[in-house]
Chains A and B, each alone.
Chain A
């Protein structure tokens, strides 16, 4: 398992996001694909922070 730690932020250095990609040792991904995965992680988090989805609690199973 390979850990790829990264930090991305907005151009003004705000909304800094630090995360890790966990990749298989033989992942076979290109650098561009890894960068795209990082950006996708950031975009998902940023959108969740900036535009929180409506809260729709699912019924709690007890």
Chain B
């Protein structure tokens, strides 16, 4: 293998002996590097532009110290050797459509060292053959990285991809390290061909979009972080241990239709966090499946957006927890969730004193024991009918507060805490009972308590005390259990029919006033 150094003073075209020398900074006139040669650009190569007027095949390319520009135009550099086949430089500039293709088909390892170049100066690499390891040196950055016809392994380094990532179905990706996707414009694709990418994944490019074109699977111990940009799951299945997107940057998680995120971490982990949901947008199905097999004594925390940090109905996700025997903690601050569902083989607990703000439905029939506490669960739907179905008692206060929202309570439900209806409609399933520790209303908006089917009664039950409501329209509800149920007309309540157990008369205040006025009218005046 002969070395060919780029030198100044020639035509500036690759395919010209006027720019090639046998020594660094030496005289020009050497042959253009061929398939048995190494091409080198260095500090003595000047700051001019080297233009590819052919698509050369060479053994290796080294650019250490080069301060000029390598203009690929639309040409490609083919590297046919093994070992370290490419060394880039942060001092150089690239132009055109920079693409380097690695063609060696042997089992011998290859390394590319692109260095930590900027997005503008990054180069695309295509690996078209080989069965050995390919290493992209840690800390480096590439544009597109494409594997086709490669059946080796991408080794374990942390590097940045500014463009597309395409894996060959026959290759492997070594575990550990972090891949950072950092494009700042356009839509980049990630095509894994079902190859497991057992690495941390970070998406961090202001204005960038990444779209997966099929399933994407990383390991149960890996974290995916959305820092900036848009991650478009495109309706496919994305599996990772942990998903984190808690910051104030502009970012979007677009699920598309039909896919979802599988969170597979177990142990004591915050498996999802969007605690700071400032500038966080969500689109599509928004389904998250929690499938890690947590064990007794451990806690997995699911941290929805904190309301004080812009957690809203629009960026709340659906969580289906279907495996584990551990504790699921939704946080003690007011954090938003859309649907919360326990299913499958889950047999653990919901953590103490959690305070979820639920915009969708809650389903938990025999799966999670609700530890309870003094913090309230708030159901906040404002536009649609959602359901609450839990054969396990809710051992927290419960607040229903959604203007225009409605909640259908399926089956009998026990709430070992105060139930407060502030806004919306509670529908108790026909013939079933909502058992409460106390029941009250709040505010002056008209609210509704009813069965689901007009004409068919359901029950609300409290063992003792006095429950007085206001601005409540009641239909088909039997109030029972031993407590006193007051729904005085002068408090804005409306008897919409087929109720029993309620006192709908005037409140004692009004009654006493009328009595006093009557006495005043009938007493003889004394002069």
B163 to chain A, nearest CB (A): 18
Q: Give the contact stretch, choosing among B16-24, B235-243, B349-357, B455-463.
A: B235-243
Report the contact-size class of chain B (Cβ under 8 Å from the partner): 35 or more
Q: Which of A29-53 contact B (CB under 8 A)?
A: 41, 44-45, 48-50, 52
For A7, what are the chain B residues with a Cβ–Cβ distance below 8 Å? 258
A26 to chain B, nearest CB (A): 16
CA of A36 to CA of B291, assembled, Å: 25
Q: Which of B39-67 contact A (CB under 8 A)?
A: none
- Asked if B177 and A60 sit within 8 Å, CB to CB, the answer is yes
For A18, what are the chain B residues with a Cβ–Cβ distance below 8 Å? 215, 235-237, 258-259
> B137 at interface (Cβ–Cβ under 8 A)?
yes
> B262 at interface (Cβ–Cβ under 8 A)?
yes
For A57, what are the chain B residues with a Cβ–Cβ distance below 8 Å? 156, 175-176
- Asked if A60 and B239 sit within 8 Å, CB to CB, the answer is no
Report the contact-size class of chain A (Cβ under 8 Å from the partner): 20 to 34
A45 contacts which of B158, B215, B258 (Cβ < 8 Å)? B215
CA of A6 to CA of B51, assembled, Å: 45
- Evaluate whether A45 and B217 lie within 8 angstroms (CB atoms) in the complex, with A18-B236, A58-B174, A62-B139 already known: yes
> B206 at interface (Cβ–Cβ under 8 A)?
no
B175 contacts which of A3, A22, A55 (Cβ < 8 Å)? A55
- Asked if A20 and B236 sit within 8 Å, CB to CB, the answer is yes
**What 1/0 flags go to B317-357 for Cβ under 8 Å of A?**
00000100000000000000000000110000000000000
Q: Which of B136-152 contact A (CB under 8 A)?
A: 137-139
For B139, what are the chain A residues with a Cβ–Cβ distance below 8 Å? 62
B449 to chain A, nearest CB (A): 34
CA of A61 to CA of B237, assembled, Å: 30
For B137, what are the chain A residues with a Cβ–Cβ distance below 8 Å? 61-62
CA of A18 to CA of B215, assembled, Å: 6
Q: Does more than half of chain A's interface fall in helix, strand or loop, or is it mixed?
A: mixed
> A59 at interface (Cβ–Cβ under 8 A)?
yes
- Evaluate whether A15 and B291 lie within 8 angstroms (CB atoms) in the complex, with A59-B156, A62-B139 already known: yes
- Asked if A41 and B194 sit within 8 Å, CB to CB, the answer is yes
> B260 at interface (Cβ–Cβ under 8 A)?
yes
**What 1/0 flags go to B154-187 for Cβ under 8 Å of A?**
0111100000000000000011110000000000
- Complex: chain A residue closest to B287, CB-CB: A16
B237 contacts which of A21, A45, A50 (Cβ < 8 Å)? A45
- Asked if B344 and A52 sit within 8 Å, CB to CB, the answer is no
- Asked if B214 and A19 sit within 8 Å, CB to CB, the answer is yes
Q: Which of B239-285 contact A (CB under 8 A)?
A: 239, 258-260, 262, 264
A12 to chain B, nearest CB (A): 9
B144 to chain A, nearest CB (A): 16
For B158, what are the chain A residues with a Cβ–Cβ distance below 8 Å? 60, 62
Q: Which of A3-28 contact B (CB under 8 A)?
A: 3, 5, 7, 14-22
CA of A48 to CA of B292, assembled, Å: 11
CA of A62 to CA of B158, assembled, Å: 8
- Asked if B157 and A62 sit within 8 Å, CB to CB, the answer is yes
B191 contacts which of A5, A22, A44, A58 (Cβ < 8 Å)? A22
For A59, what are the chain B residues with a Cβ–Cβ distance below 8 Å? 156
- Asked if A60 and B194 sit within 8 Å, CB to CB, the answer is no
- Asked if B176 and A19 sit within 8 Å, CB to CB, the answer is no
B219 contacts which of A19, A44, A55, A60 (Cβ < 8 Å)? A55
B344 contacts which of A14, A41, A49, A55 (Cβ < 8 Å)? A14
For A41, what are the chain B residues with a Cβ–Cβ distance below 8 Å? 194, 215
CA of A48 to CA of B220, assembled, Å: 9
CA of A44 to CA of B194, assembled, Å: 9
A19 contacts which of B215, B262, B343 (Cβ < 8 Å)? B215
Knowing that A18-B215, A49-B264 touch, tell me 17 more A-B residue pairs with CB under 8 angstroms.
Answer: A7-B258, A14-B343, A16-B258, A17-B237, A18-B237, A19-B194, A19-B214, A20-B214, A44-B194, A49-B262, A50-B291, A57-B176, A58-B155, A58-B156, A60-B138, A61-B155, A62-B139
Residues of chain B at the chain A interface (Cβ within 8 Å): 135, 137-139, 155-158, 174-177, 191, 193-194, 196, 213-215, 217, 219-221, 235-237, 239, 258-260, 262, 264, 289, 291, 322, 343-344
5 A–B contacts from the bound complex (CB under 8 Å): A16-B258, A22-B193, A41-B215, A55-B219, A62-B138
Question: 6 shortest A-B CB distances, which residue pairs?
Answer: A57-B176, A20-B214, A62-B138, A19-B215, A58-B156, A52-B220
